[in-house]
Structure 1
Amino acid sequence: MTSPAPLTPDGGPWPPRAGAPASYVPMYGPEFEDDPTAFYRGMREKYGPVVPVEVDERGGFRGWLVLGHREQLEILNNRSGLFTHDSRWWRDQVEGRVPDHPLVQQTERRRNMFSTDGTEHQRLRSPIDQALAGLHPEHTHGYVDHLADQLIDAFPAFGPVDIVAWYAQPLPMLVMMGLLGMPEERATAVSQTVLEIVQAGPGAAAAARRMDELMREQVEEKLKAPGADLTSWLIAQYGTGVFDPDEVADQVRLLLQGGLGPTSAWIAATLLRLVTDDRLRGDVEKGVVTLADANNRVLWDDPPVHNVFMNWATAPTTLGQYEIGAGDLVIVSMAGSGTDPAVRPVDEEALRASRAHLAWGAGQHACPAQDLGSMIVEAAVRRLLHRMPALRLAIDERDVVWGPSYVVRMPVELPLMSPTRVPASGAAEPPAFMAFPAAPGAPQQFVAPPVGPPPGADDAAGGQQPRWRALSTWFLRK
């Protein structure tokens, strides 16, 4: 007896498959990994704005790589309603064709704004938008400076510093855990769990389940004792309506994890650009170019998110020169968009000023934390350049090794050094409070995590490090 054919998420039969392309371009191997920008440019020149690709050499993991800016906007704006972020529409996975791959876990449907569309997406996005709107820019910037100084103070006293491991990776996580109001014990557990998930090893699935538990604990704690933090504000946005703790926990997880890798990658890419582009570095130091424009320049060539594997066609359609079948995976390449001559400015000044790139996405799924992400990156880069004014690359630029570039591309290591270091000044002290609109019944002031003593100083309580000092240095012992 044969098992019944799988149905679409709408409950109907899948339509006949579209005709397969003559071949699929390998989206793996040295050509793709060593220089993805050249890979995307070459694919556009050879195949056009849409390319049939195979993501895994074992076969089965196939999709349509969209490189054209116009075609990407067609998907992201989704005025036709033909595309979805709901991974239940991934036909190849439903039919068991997709091999086990780290990317598959990242497409898992969750109860948050990123996995939904239409009115349900708006219902889930609105509380996040409102919670983020409560952040006070000046005080948040000061908080980033404070945490950046803690990390910089912990740098090795001599020799090169791997700025990825010591700074670019831990800083965004410390910032987000602080803004979410996590206590030390949970923040430490979350840090370790995120590391296991990102490493995509055999323990990644168990780590993902543990992360769900930690997020539920965070929500339950803030339900009982709300504070002036993002978790409490998110909970408050649900008002008197139906409240599902698991749904809110998924939303908190999205707030925490959604931007960690991209923000770290953007910090690293900007620093690499500034220590290898003497003209840009000089213009920034002289004030000819703002740091915000320098950061934006990086988004054209090295966007934090290279590709988004979260769009599926819900009905047969045409994209570029190809017939796309219902349930086909459509991969929107932000890195590919930056090389599209239809929108890429031709001179450096225009590249720094133009925001026509799609690094933040577009449409209903555009990044909700653009202001916060930009603030973290600008503060991180500015603070490091202030504290280490003669910063330079400790190796030849050609020897920088890059990690996998499917979604987030970042150097594996980035050794930088500076012969001079400037001590932290009072300007980077954490604000005594942040006057944010707190949740009902919550304190009206955000109290920054306790400040640790300078490295080497004894704590008045008997040598114990305060929680955020201990948490900052935990990253460097792992």
Structure 2
Amino acid sequence: MTPQSPFPNGAVPPPGCPAHDAGLHRLPEVAHPASLYEQLRQQYGPVAPVLLYGDVRAWIVLGYRENLEVMRTPSLFSRDSRRWSAFRDGLIPDDSPLLPMVGWQPICVFADGEEHARLRSAVVDGLAQVNRRGMRRLVTQCTRQLVESPAFAGGSADLVRDYAEPLPMLVVSRLIGMEPHEGPALVEPTLDLMRGSETAAASNATVTRVLEDLVRRKKEHPGSSDLASHLISHPSGLSDTEIVEHLRLVLVAAHQGTVNLIAQTLRLTLTDRRFRGSLSGGQMTLPDALEQVMWDNPSISVIPGRWATGNTMLGNQQIREGDLLLLCIAAANVDPEIRPDLSIPLHGNRSHLSLSSGPHECPGGDVGRSIADTGIDELMMLLPDMELTIPPTAIGITADWLTQRPASLPVRFTPPRATSHQAPAPAQFAASQPLPAAEETPPARPAATTSDAGPWWRRPLTRNS
């Protein structure tokens, strides 16, 4: 017998009827998403029905293989949200908190085929111009500025609020062409527009307005290396709207994703014996920790979305033309079919789906990884004795329909000596521009007790003799 959609013809059952209450969940209201994903997997298999804001139905794809099938088959699962039956049926109001993330925009994320290739090429080429060495220096200097800020005074701080959230914005805002003072004001609006909160639309408008101003300035006074200037001059011929929306895409994705990667990796380094101490005679290095986090706690838990181009079957569920599918990376990465034993570490294995796959694979994953790697490395150099002030079991979770991360990471430490470094100019991002001679040697770090091979958290896995 062919499985049937839980909501025939796309209609949402009213509250109180059996279909409405039979295990269907409103995804944004879940406090512990991982538990819900496993409950849904047990109940429905690799593809399950869920409800979004306004009791709008969607499918959440939980299986690793099913996610790959959706990601790699755009002919069946389009990125064009205008195909969504809920839009056609008038179920999504203009002020819906879902719109900042699923409302169609003229960007590569919502395009397929030749149009996708045209738009994506501008972003890929722009990100390829980033001088990774210059960016690492910027991350190092921004980290020092944060550690020397009032938030870290007195030997205590919250590493989520005071470090993980502001650092990526300080770096990414400069990469796209903003002045140093502009980035900090966008931290909260950028986080909010992905939460699906009641203020998401207003936060999205704030970010868009700032980026529109940036594009106007860069058209009058173009830079030599920033992403905004590159998109303006790219031969793909982007319109002003396309430029603004792609800058917004990079800003939001790079900031939100890197915030979560930093926060989750800091949690791991502060709580996991494999990192802080030894387990079976081995140690987990910082690169290992980053990779483990991308498997176990991906920066973006759920990717919205794909829209079915026709009636099809996926994971023993009947998917109807126009249905929305949410790609649950968090569940796919721990799918029992590919990871029957979650205790086994996956050092060096990058087959996780945290950066997606197929034609829409994230083009800037190495940028976020580099910010997190350099930032955490520098933070640990500056604050080598930092430790949690709460038990690991007391670390809460901040979760919404797309992401999850530690709610806070309160730590204490010995305050470092002030270094008072200025962030470098945006020109240092240029791949074609040589770095100033004075910057060839990075500023001296505090004295370390490690060997010439580098700090212990970067050394390859070793066995105790």
TM-score, normalised with respect to structure 2: 0.81
Q: Is the 1:196–1:207 contact (alpha carbons within 8 Å) kept by the matching residues of 2?
A: yes
Deviations 1:231-287 (A, max 9, x none): 22222323xx64411211111111111221121011111111111112222359x99
Letter in structure 2 aligned against 1:78: T
Secondary structure in 1 aligned to 2:397? Answer: coil
Equivalent in the alignment of 1:117: 112
Q: Work out the CA distance in 2 between the residues paired with 1:212 and 1:18.
A: 32
Is 1:160 the counterpart of 2:164? The answer is: no
Deviations 1:288-313 (A, max 9, x none): 43311111101222111111122110
Gaps of 5+ in 1: 1-15, 449-478
Q: Is the 2:102–2:304 contact (alpha carbons within 8 Å) kept by the matching residues of 1?
A: yes
Is 1:277 the counterpart of 2:272? The answer is: yes
Q: Is the 2:170–2:184 contact (alpha carbons within 8 Å) kept by the matching residues of 1?
A: no
Equivalent in the alignment of 2:169: 173
Question: What are the within-5 Å matches in structure 2 for residues 129-278 of structure 1?
Answer: 129-154=124-149, 155-158=151-154, 160-184=156-180, 186-187=182-183, 190-191=186-187, 193-194=189-190, 197=193, 203-227=199-223, 228-238=225-235, 242-278=237-273
Letter in structure 2 aligned against 1:127: A
Q: Is the 1:110–1:250 contact (alpha carbons within 8 Å) kept by the matching residues of 2?
A: yes
Identify which of 358, 368, 372 aligns with 2:367: 372
Q: Is the 1:142–1:429 contact (alpha carbons within 8 Å) kept by the matching residues of 2?
A: no
Letter in structure 2 aligned against 1:144: V
Question: What are the within-5 Å matches in structure 2 for residues 268-347 of structure 1?
Answer: 268-282=263-277, 288-344=283-339, 346=341
Identify which of 78, 81, 89 aligns with 1:87: 81
Q: Is the 2:166–2:184 contact (alpha carbons within 8 Å) kept by the matching residues of 1?
A: no
Q: CA RMSD in A?
A: 3.2
Q: Is the 2:398–2:406 contact (alpha carbons within 8 Å) kept by the matching residues of 1?
A: yes
> What is the CA distance between 1:31 and its match in structure 2?
9.6
> What is the CA distance between 1:179 and its match in structure 2?
1.2
Secondary structure in 1 aligned to 2:310? Answer: coil
Equivalent in the alignment of 1:13: none
Corresponding residue pairs, total: 420
> What is the CA distance between 1:317 and its match in structure 2?
0.4
Equivalent in the alignment of 1:389: 384
Q: Work out the CA distance in 2 between the residues paired with 1:26 and 1:275.
A: 36
Q: Work out the CA distance in 2 between the residues paired with 1:91 and 1:330.
A: 12
Equivalent in the alignment of 1:466: none
Equivalent in the alignment of 1:463: none
Q: Work out the CA distance in 1 between the residues paired with 2:308 and 2:42.
A: 25
Q: Work out the CA distance in 2 between the residues paired with 1:115 and 1:29.
A: 22
Q: Is the 2:274–2:283 contact (alpha carbons within 8 Å) kept by the matching residues of 1?
A: no
Letter in structure 2 aligned against 1:178: R
Q: Is the 1:436–1:446 contact (alpha carbons within 8 Å) kept by the matching residues of 2?
A: no
Q: Work out the CA distance in 2 between the residues paired with 1:147 and 1:319.
A: 46
Bigger shift: 428-437 or 224-233? 428-437
Equivalent in the alignment of 1:108: 103
Change (3 A) 1:218 1:290: same
> What is the CA distance between 1:26 and its match in structure 2?
3.0
Q: Work out the CA distance in 1 between the residues paired with 2:340 and 2:127.
A: 32
Q: Is the 1:31–1:39 contact (alpha carbons within 8 Å) kept by the matching residues of 2?
A: no
Deviations 1:173-220 (A, max 9, x none): 110111122125644554464366457665543342333232122112
Change (3 A) 1:207 1:32: closer
Change (3 A) 1:242 1:179: closer
Q: Work out the CA distance in 1 between the residues paired with 2:137 and 2:282.
A: 21
Q: Work out the CA distance in 2 between the residues paired with 1:133 and 1:150.
A: 27
Secondary structure in 1 aligned to 2:154? Answer: coil
Change (3 A) 1:186 1:275: closer
Identify which of 16, 25, 50 aligns with 1:27: 25
Secondary structure in 2 aligned to 1:410? Answer: strand
Equivalent in the alignment of 2:34: 37
Question: What are the within-5 Å matches in structure 2 for residues 402-413 of structure 1?
Answer: 402-413=397-408
